[in-house]
Amino acid sequence: MVRAHIRFRGTVQGVGFRYTTLSFAQSLALTGWVKNLPDGSVEAMVEGPRAQIEELVAKLKNQFGSFIRDQQIEWLEVRGEYKDFFVA
């Protein structure tokens, strides 16, 4: 189990990015949150098995590849503080 702090930049607001992330994360049994930031980027904090988090990112790239200009992932130690995944 790991924790990933992820930031997506590009045209990622106003295209259903957060709710698609929510759907994908729930289908992969991941916990955490996703939210829009004032600078137009989207931030997510995700916990679960690393392979599932990598699958989440791959699904988002597949769905929104033309909208994502850049992404950053910081791998952290899991804290287990979330019970589900939600839009913050």
Give catalytic residue positions: 18, 36
Is the alpha carbon torsion for 63, 64, 65, 66 positive or negative? positive
Nearest to 61 by CA among 8, 4, 2, 5: 8
Secondary structure element (H or E) that encloses residue 69, with its range: strand 68-76
**Which residues, 6 or more positions from 20, have their beta carbon under 8 angstroms from its beta carbon?**
60, 63, 64
